[in-house]
């Protein structure tokens, strides 16, 4: 069985849903299809939740009404058959009924996850009604019945596998299944989610749970590009990546994949293909254990980084100093991305600033602490990239006018990371595109 995930823009218009329906029914091979919410829905749900949390009832009302109107229009264009239209309307009324009920109550923090879950619940139900009206045999699998996370918000593959396999074997053999991306249940049995963009992660977890033949991520671009297409002109798709390369690129900002979406596939050696819904014949990107020999694959950038420097003469010739520093980050559950040390100072970066202040307060006890905000990590990824003198020279030559705050080199063979002020991000990505891919030669 293959797992196919379609993102928000792929189902963002009724015509796109029609197109996805023809893509998944073009052959009879068994498929498990994971859908995101219709594009824009989750953002609006976030705004509705925020307005309710802040007691801004009128704003919440307006947002709910506008979204409801959007769905009414969507239904009209999605269905040709009156019976399907009627079923679609009652699904929409059910889910908006829930929003209205929550709106009428005193706000509770638990509302958030329930509100955010409505997008995927709606898209999958509306799509299933459409397929059934077309005479397609299909089963809707509720993700809330199998997608499970533990108390640390980590997915529990064994539970997902057991519950999902039971649901699949109870089915009468339609061979085509639809389920929701993004949403799950937590260890208390409450509705939760896999964080924004999490439908990719759902697809990969499902692929791992059922040992799928392949996981396909269908989106609005023809694969992983060599550089961020939102910022740089003249980028191109990379045909092959290893799991490690794809994981680094997604973690360091390539939005096409949720940062955690590679490890489940990698753990069970399930290939992942990135494909373009609007251009299904394009080759896309194939991600597997092997990689092609091209030394450089792609560049990604991650914003919102904070650099922290701790300077202390106590570090000189001392052991145990770094352990104490790391323990502070561990205590506040804050991952460190980059790290460099000298005999008297250590610099490191974080992107989760939730506990920045208590972290800084504790670090003051070890020495002088300096903080730089609005930093960006630029990550250059490719097989052996860090071992190739030609690439290293070209990379640094092409950005020689830019002040560099930190460099991480040699941590892995696949990656060179550079920390810069975010204001230099566009010129750095542009120059690396020219310097590393001779991009001006490509028309």
**Smallest gap from residue 243 Cβ to ligand ADP (A):** 16
Per rule CB under 6 A, count of chain residues that contact ligand ADP: 19
245 near ligand ADP, rule: CB under 6 A: no
Closest to ligand ASP by CB, 199 vs 227, is 199
- H or E element in which residue 216 lies: strand 214-219
220 near ligand ADP, rule: CB under 6 A: yes
* CA pair distance 267, 421, nearest whole angstrom: 35
Question: What sign for the dihedral angle of Cα 46, 50, 52, 57?
Answer: negative
230 near ligand ADP, rule: CB under 6 A: yes
Closest to ligand ADP by CB, 194 vs 363, is 194
Closest to ligand ASP by CB, 74 vs 424, is 74
CB atoms inside a 10 Å sphere around CB 375: 21
Structure tokens at 337: 């991305």
88-107 positions binding ligand ADP, by CB under 6 A: none
Closest to ligand ADP by CB, 220 vs 294, is 220
Backbone φ and ψ for 108, nearest 5 degrees, come out as -120, 145
Among 228, 248, 337, 362, binds ligand ADP (CB under 6 A): 228
* CA pair distance 259, 269, nearest whole angstrom: 18
DSSP secondary-structure letter at 38? P
Structure tokens at 315: 């570090």
Among 40, 175, 229, 271, binds ligand ADP (CB under 6 A): 229
Among 16, 95, 225, 431, binds ligand ADP (CB under 6 A): 225
Question: What sign for the dihedral angle of Cα 258, 146, 160, 31?
Answer: negative
155 near ligand ASP, rule: CB under 6 A: no
257-316 positions binding ligand ADP, by CB under 6 A: 298, 300
**Interface mask toward ligand ASP for 98-137; x: CB under 6 A:** ---------------------x------------------
| Strand 139-141 with 176-180, pairing | parallel
Angle at the Cα of 40 from the Cα atoms of 38 and 45, rounded to 5 degrees: 100
8 near ligand ASP, rule: CB under 6 A: yes
Per rule CB under 6 A, count of chain residues that contact ligand ASP: 12
**Smallest gap from residue 192 Cβ to ligand ASP (A):** 13
| Strand 272-276 with 285-288, pairing | antiparallel
Report the residue closest to Mg ion, judged by CB: 197
Structure tokens at 30: 């068994």
* CA pair distance 47, 42, nearest whole angstrom: 9
DSSP codes joined into one string, 389-401: HHHHHHHHHHTTT
Q: For residues 334 and 352, is the Cβ–Cβ distance under 8 A?
A: yes
Closest to ligand ASP by CB, 117 vs 232, is 117
* CA pair distance 134, 31, nearest whole angstrom: 17
* CA pair distance 331, 358, nearest whole angstrom: 10
175-204 positions binding ligand ASP, by CB under 6 A: 181-182, 196-199
197 near Mg ion, rule: CB under 5 A: yes
Partner in contact with 220, chosen from ligand ASP, ligand ADP, Mg ion, none, beta carbon below 5 to 8 Å by kind = ligand ADP
Among 9, 242, 291, 347, binds ligand ADP (CB under 6 A): 9
* CA pair distance 418, 391, nearest whole angstrom: 14
Contact segment (CB under 6 A) with ligand ADP among 5-13, 47-55, 112-120, 163-171 equals: 5-13
Chain center to CA of 43: 15
- H or E element in which residue 374 lies: strand 368-381
Partner in contact with 88, chosen from ligand ASP, ligand ADP, Mg ion, none, beta carbon below 5 to 8 Å by kind = none
* Positions in the binding site for ligand ASP (CB under 6 A): 7-8, 36-37, 42, 119, 181-182, 196-199
* Positions in the binding site for Mg ion (CB under 5 A): 7, 197
């Amino acid at each position: 069985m293959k797992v196919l995930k379609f993102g928000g823009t792929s189902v963002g218009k009724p015509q796109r849903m029609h197109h996805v329906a023809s893509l998944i029914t073009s052959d009879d091979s068994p498929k498990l299809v994971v859908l995101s919410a219709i594009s824009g829905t989750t953002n609006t749900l976030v705004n509705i939740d925020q307005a309710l949390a802040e007691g801004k009832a009128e704003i919440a009302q307006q947002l709910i009404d506008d979204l409801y109107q959007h769905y009414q229009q969507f239904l009209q264009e999605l269905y040709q058959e009156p019976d399907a239209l009627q079923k679609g309307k009652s699904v929409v009324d059910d889910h908006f009924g829930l929003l209205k009920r929550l709106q009428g109550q005193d706000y509770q923090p638990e509302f958030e996850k329930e509100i955010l879950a409505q997008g995927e619940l709606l898209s999958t139900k509306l799509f299933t009604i459409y397929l059934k009206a077309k005479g397609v045999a299909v089963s809707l699998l509720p993700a809330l019945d199998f997608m499970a996370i533990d108390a640390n918000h980590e997915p529990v593959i064994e539970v997902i596998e057991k519950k999902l396999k039971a649901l699949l074997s109870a089915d009468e053999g339609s061979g085509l299944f639809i389920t929701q991306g993004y949403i799950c249940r937590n260890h208390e049995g409450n509705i939760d989610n896999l964080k924004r963009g999490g439908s990719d992660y759902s697809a990969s977890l499902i692929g791992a749970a059922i040992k799928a033949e392949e996981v396909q991520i269908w989106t609005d671009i023809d694969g992983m590009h060599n550089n961020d297409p939102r910022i740089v002109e003249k980028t191109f798709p990379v045909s092959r990546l290893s799991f490690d390369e794809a994981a680094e690129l997604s973690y360091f900002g390539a939005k096409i994949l949720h940062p955690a979406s590679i490890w489940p596939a990698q753990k069970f050696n399930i290939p992942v293909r990135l494909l373009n819904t609007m251009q299904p014949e394009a080759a896309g990107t194939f991600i597997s254990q092997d990689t092609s020999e091209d030394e450089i694959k792609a560049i990604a950038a991650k914003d919102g980084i904070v650099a922290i420097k701790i300077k202390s003469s106590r570090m000189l010739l001392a052991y145990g100093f770094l352990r104490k520093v790391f323990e502070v980050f561990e205590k506040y559950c804050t991952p460190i991305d980059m790290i460099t040390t000298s005999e008297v100072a250590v610099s490191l970066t974080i992107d989760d600033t939730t506990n920045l202040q208590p972290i800084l307060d504790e670090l003051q006890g070890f020495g002088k602490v300096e903080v730089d905000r609005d930093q960006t990590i630029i990550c250059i990824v490719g097989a052996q990239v860090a071992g190739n003198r030609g690439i290293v020279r070209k990379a640094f030559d092409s950005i020689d006018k830019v002040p560099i705050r930190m460099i991480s080199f040699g941590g892995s063979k696949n990656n060179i990371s550079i920390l810069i002020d975010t204001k230099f991000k566009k010129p750095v990505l542009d120059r690396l595109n020219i310097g590393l891919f001779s991009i001006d030669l490509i028309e």
